Structure 1
């Protein structure tokens, strides 16, 4: 049977284009329930300032590893987790280690010359190449069978409203940083559209509910349940945004006095969950198959009052290892990030794959990483790399210790798992050896 564009198909049914964001991923509507090609997805999550390594890395490698305290939230997903110790960011050149740790994290290439001064190192500019998320996005968008509405989505949580190499990890190309959206109301508008009247926010559902009701009769029971979930999420999100707009700013503005300290709003945990819910919903509707989720920024001084931590995160990360109080607070901070990563995994695991191919987690690879291995030494060695989910088709349920592998090769490995067989990525010399074997080794 000859396929026709989805918008033409909807027009034939008398359905407005405004309904498309709700039904783009519902296979039974287009007659491909259970027959559509597998949709493999990638999410890269970032948290800053290194980790507490002795509370992060398992004592034993292989399949007999035990999670340390920071990674305990991942216990329900132990068999779907792959820990990689020994991944190094070996990019040299201009810029301090926080700058290279952040802007070279996903690009795996040097910073371009510039006048942005960091620490005592030479000044630098933006990254000089594309980031792996955008590279994979471009590859998928170049094929009709993997094209999506957005290709990739860049989510932020408490990312300050400034642009420099410490705040950007995604790059569309050399000197082309991609800003994450850290306001759920803006992301909701991007995904589903929203209209304003004199009273403020008007629900997009008010304008498409009739269309969605008519079209639901043509869906399988599974897709009807998924559509109901989409609609409920949007309705709840709109209500929450309306309540928040009456109380406080949903974003995280830079403070006026000290630009090195972000006084993160106490609603950060709430914003985090809203962003994750929107991310999962966008994947379920096949709006994108690549996403990034960026928490704060490199050198970020977020004060996480909801954890009982009043000190800035970066300041704590510089305290010596024998400062037990600082180490305990850093452990608590990183444990919170692990909890958000686990929440993302659970949301995907609880969402059936549209078209009937297990859960969405079975077809999604999650990567949680950091710009540093350890904050007080500014090391770019042993960068935290946690892989979770089935989207990479790797052998999971393991903790591996690699031999100082450049992170270029890990990104090549993940690109290959997504169908993009890169022969090099970023710095060509650091790509020698090619993709890693995370299936049989």
Structure 2
């Protein structure tokens, strides 16, 4: 018997002018007759930490009493609440952790009373009580996402991404003698180093897929309304010749999802540039 299956590295990327696109997991990335977990192609575990600022539905006493979030019972057979109901198909992969608290977000002195909102973001993933200061000598703790990134994120081009939806001043004081930086980033690479947030969707997209080329070349591509995928079409054609039917379909679906995100960003940019009112 002859094994002719072509093997691709899990690190395979498609490169073009100003673009680098990583590949989804493909069958071709598993060497023939090799158990997946014994190869470098073993899927990586991802960690996502999301903060909903100023609380959310269910964080009030009414929400607690009516179990908006927290199941009424523990164990594997818990009942899904109104808010958790969409996750029910993933029961076997889901763990709901309840009765947690972060005392470091509370005031530890009379001078800190009333400043919970100015501390909470810095406490969320660090579990550290922020130093009350308006200057640059901020002090909190290393956040759990960055500890994870240091241990598990070294095999990816970007160990971590910090994304936000609103701009928060990173300098100066925001209230109660706390620096504004405490109110923005939730990721801290060290007790004294908050990680800046990426707010602009275009910048986030370019961080993920843009590579090489000058700022002028990238601007020209955007002005011409060209896709970042246009630059990899030649390499894509060569690669697809060596893939099986299932891998080709999987790759096409993945690249279309990348293109769809790009289209959405382009539409937002075009609308913002038009000056027209946008309904939310």
TM-score using structure 1 length: 0.46
CA-atom RMSD, angstroms? 3.4
Aligned to 1:179: 196
Aligned to 1:43: 48
* Separation in 1, partners of 2:82, 2:139: 34
* Change in 2 beyond 3 A, CA 1:132/1:17: farther
Query: Which of 53, 62, 67 is the matching residue for 2:64?
Result: 53
* Change in 2 beyond 3 A, CA 1:211/1:29: farther
Q: Structure 1 or 2: larger strand share?
A: 1
* Change in 2 beyond 3 A, CA 1:44/1:266: farther
User: What is the SS of the residue equivalent to 1:102?
Assistant: helix
* Separation in 1, partners of 2:28, 2:18: 19
| Unaligned ranges ≥5, structure 1 | 117-123, 250-264, 268-441
Aligned to 1:298: none
Query: Which of 222, 240, 259 is the matching residue for 1:235?
Result: 259
Cα offset for 1:84?
A: 1.7
Aligned to 1:216: 240
Aligned to 1:21: 21
Q: Is the Cα contact below 8 Å between 1:114 and 1:125 reproduced in 2?
A: yes
* Separation in 1, partners of 2:264, 2:98: 40
Q: Does 1:108 align with 2:127?
A: yes
Aligned to 1:273: none
User: What is the SS of the residue equivalent to 1:84?
Assistant: coil
Query: Which of 133, 145, 149 is the matching residue for 1:133?
Result: 145
Aligned to 2:187: 170
* Separation in 2, partners of 1:222, 1:159: 40
* Separation in 2, partners of 1:64, 1:29: 37
* Change in 2 beyond 3 A, CA 1:21/1:79: same
Q: Does 1:207 align with 2:231?
A: yes
* Change in 2 beyond 3 A, CA 1:167/1:87: same
Aligned to 2:159: 151
* Change in 2 beyond 3 A, CA 1:17/1:218: farther
Q: Does 1:197 align with 2:209?
A: no
Cα offset for 1:219?
A: 2.7
Deviations 1:76-135 (A, max 9, x none): 33343222222121226475222332101111112134128xxxxxxx974422111111
The size of the alignment, in residue pairs, is 234
* Change in 2 beyond 3 A, CA 1:63/1:31: closer
* Change in 2 beyond 3 A, CA 1:230/1:47: same
Cα offset for 1:16?
A: 5.0
Q: Is the Cα contact below 8 Å between 1:111 and 1:125 reproduced in 2?
A: no
* Separation in 2, partners of 1:38, 1:210: 27
User: What is the SS of the residue equivalent to 1:69?
Assistant: coil
Map 1:85-100 → 2, pairs under 5 A: 85-91=98-104, 93=108, 95=112, 96-100=115-119
| Unaligned ranges ≥5, structure 2 | 1-6, 171-180, 212-217
Cα offset for 1:62?
A: 2.5
* Change in 2 beyond 3 A, CA 1:75/1:209: same
Cα offset for 1:25?
A: 4.7
Cα offset for 1:188?
A: 1.1
* Change in 2 beyond 3 A, CA 1:111/1:238: same
* Separation in 1, partners of 2:219, 2:19: 18
TM-score using structure 2 length: 0.69
Q: Is the Cα contact below 8 Å between 1:113 and 1:125 reproduced in 2?
A: no
* Change in 2 beyond 3 A, CA 1:220/1:5: closer
Cα offset for 1:185?
A: 1.7
Which of the pair has the greater relative contact order for Cα pairs under 8 Å at 6+ separation?
1
Aligned to 2:93: 80
Cα offset for 1:136?
A: 1.0
